[in-house]
Structure 1
């Protein structure tokens, strides 16, 4: 395997030494271009109680092209499809080599807080969002409860069971 570019090493070190609040990105032991990511749902969003698993991969031509990112946790969101693919401008046409992994992850977290049904990837969800936003938000909350391990559960200790 080719040596990892200095840029990827620096970005990885910064993610570890100066983590983004509510986001973790840990490189895989097998492939340092592949990251296991968790993003906490933003407060005051339908996703606020959830912790979402994602995968991020840095292709060989990174940073000249965008990282590949997708949700592994099932989510009800107009800009994220059933396969976990994300419709986000900085992952497509607005990618710039000046952007970094942390910037992309912050943009994804912001997208959770501001769904955009006018630029959908999941057309059915976008239609629901446009026709009855209140109901769509309720479904998003239910899916978050069901599929995204909640922050409360993730931080609860299991020592009570040893009584």
Structure 2
């Protein structure tokens, strides 16, 4: 009877240790992994805004780097894409904006996007979860694209509104 009791205790301890090891391995992968399938789709730009953007070389290069980000499958690809995006964002900020897009609304959304780019980079370098910050960064990018659509679609003439005569 004692032998059976010892065997039962030994098997329970062995079984409980194995389950705990599996849980640790999966939680580690979930915390530091990059799930590219959860990335939001890019907001479409209407034809009028697209015509202006085609002449805006810095934004075109930044947009191409965003396309590379969508192809990232792991953290190594992600860090390369983020480093490229940070460089392209610097060029975009220093470059010439089209007259219609040279507004505080566009520049403020670009600054928010820059903040999220650095947030993603810090999460990758610290081996933290990277999916959520990347989704936030792409949401900020979509907000910038939406703002470009809003500016083009706006039919208000500022001079008529501000004219007090």
The TM-score normalised by the length of structure 1 is: 0.30
Which structure has the higher relative contact order (CA within 8 Å, separation 6+)?
2
Bigger radius of gyration, 1 or 2?
2
In terms of fraction of residues, the more strand-rich structure is: 1
Structure number with the higher helix fraction is: 2
